[in-house]
Amino acid sequence: MLQRPAGGTIVTIASVLGHLGASHVSDYAAAKAGLIAMHASLRAELSAMAKGPDAPLGVKAVRTLLVKPGQLSTPLFEGVKTPNGFFGPVIDPIHLASEIIWRIESGYSGVLAMPLYARWVEWLAVLPYSIQRFVRWLSGIDRAMSGFGGSKDS
């Protein structure tokens, strides 16, 4: 990709849980947070590489797309009680895949966060802790996995 003038697109699939964390999914949330950090480091490396005197031919044409969806309607989380269908609607994976493909084909580089709340969720961390707790309670995020025994396939 670095050697091709056309570059390419690197897609990292993370989750809003990489920013939020939630009760009963610490392993999943930690893995997604790691992907978000890895993606940020990759973007920084590509940027630094592009400024160097021996920059590979296609480095400026390499695009990055970080995907941070909310809950997807996949077998992995089948049976999860969606905390709040209005604030956190479940995403159809086909719709998400279409959005990813559209961004790749259009040469987009950036972040794809769905649904709407996913675009703003990282700002929750700058709010006072009491407000964070209230928002978490209101959304039901920490109650969604209670009683979850795994998907039918697990």
Cis amide linkage into residue 115, ω under 30° from 0: yes
Active site residue 32: yes
- Residues contacting 14, CB < 8 A, separation 6+: 32, 33, 35, 36, 39, 66, 67, 68
Strand 8-13, strand 110-114: pairing: unpaired
Active site residue 28: yes
Q: Which residues pair with 11 in a beta bridge?
A: 65
Q: In what order do the strands lie in the sheet with 110-114?
A: 8-13, 62-69, 110-114
The tally of CA atoms less than 13 A away on the side-chain side of residue 46 is 22
User: Of 28, 60, 108, 117, which is the active-site residue?
Assistant: 28
Phi/psi for 39 (5° steps) reads -65, -40
Phi/psi for 143 (5° steps) reads -105, -15
Q: Which residues are catalytic?
A: 28, 32
